[in-house]
Amino acid sequence: MKNIKLKPVKDQVIVITGASSGIGLETARLAAKAGARVVIGARHEDEIQNIVKDIRSRGGEAVGIGMDVRKHEDHIKLKDTAIKAYGRIDTWVNNAGKSIFGKLTNTSLEDEKDLFETNFWGIRHGSLVALPELKKSKGALINLGSEVSGVAIPLQGMYSATKHAVKAFTDALRVELTKEKAPVSVTLVRPAAINTPYADHAKNSLEEGGPSLPAPIYDVSIVAKAILKAAEKPQRDAYIGFASRAFTVMETIAPKLSDKFLLKMFEQQKEGKQKHSMGETRSEQDHHVSKSSAYTKVTAGQKKVKDKGGEKRV
């Protein structure tokens, strides 16, 4: 990946799945503000079209479709939409995902299968549909993993399993593409807990309480900026927040200590109150949110660049 030269974001066509809220929505807005032409998809067609209108009203370029990431053919439709509108794809962001909160003994097989269809197979479908176009454009494939791609947490055990699978798929694909000297950058984004409607949208199989994220929690803009940096500069892994990296290291060098630490997360993950929050980038649940991450800025090499209006962003 070192020899791959990616276009500046302002010159790119960027496809993003799961763009109706949270990380996907924030990334689409920031990409459009920087001058990229964005192609977005999510299940809620009406919400996607509202977002497209909003981006255009702010001077950006965007198209979008309603899609179900569990369906391979819907990724083809998203790809075709991008090619028809803009002629190519420079970056494809597989972002769509969800979770189940609850003990593994309490979650249903039906819900677990649906989770894998969305979180793992959705990324598989998107990656394989995007690759031929990314090879043509010498572009970037960016898959959303998690801090739990390397460690499993209680009450989100099945979610952790899906993100382990995403990491395995992404890592193997990267090596295979490197072997064939394909000009495609492959990045796994590994966010810590992020202030999005993620917990609001999660399936609640808890015995008591509502889904909530354990601290530390980082602002969604940190992830979106890291994604756009990976779209410009090849990067193997993008850890969002020091907590994400720390979890991985602890699990590797001190697994028993990691288990003891994870025991403390039980109560923290049952303190939420769910609400409908489609079209929102951030959750309204009551918790402290870190607005920046020095660790992510340093490791992602983020620096000030100008958007199409000349405004500096970090």
Per the CB < 8 A criterion, the answer to whether 128 and 172 are in contact is no
Strands, DSSP E only, in 147-227? 185-191, 193-195, 203-204, 217-219
Q: H-helix or E-strand containing 41? A: strand 37-42
Q: Name residues whose C-beta falls within 8 Å of residue 89's C-beta, 6 or more positions apart in sequence.
A: 13, 14, 15, 39, 79, 82, 83, 130, 133, 134, 137, 139
What are the tokens at 48?
């996607």
Q: Name residues whose C-beta falls within 8 Å of residue 301's C-beta, 6 or more positions apart in sequence.
A: 229, 233
What are the tokens at 244?
């994400």
Per the CB < 8 A criterion, the answer to whether 242 and 194 are in contact is no
Out of 86, 159, 198, 239, pick the active-site residue: 159
Phi, psi of 63 (to 5 degrees): -135, 160
Nearest CA to 130 among 69, 50, 212, 214?
69
Q: List, in sequence order, the alpha helices (H) in 180-241.
A: 198-201, 220-232
Phi, psi of 238 (to 5 degrees): -120, 100
Q: Name residues whose C-beta falls within 8 Å of residue 206's C-beta, 6 or more positions apart in sequence.
A: 101, 102, 106, 155, 269, 270
Residue type, position 24, single letter: G
Is residue 218 among the annotated active site residues? no
Q: How far apart are CA 222 and CA 231, in angstroms?
A: 14
Per the CB < 8 A criterion, the answer to whether 228 and 30 are in contact is yes
Per the CB < 8 A criterion, the answer to whether 67 and 41 are in contact is yes
Q: How far apart are CA 59 and CA 168, in angstroms?
A: 39
Q: Catalytic site residues?
A: 159
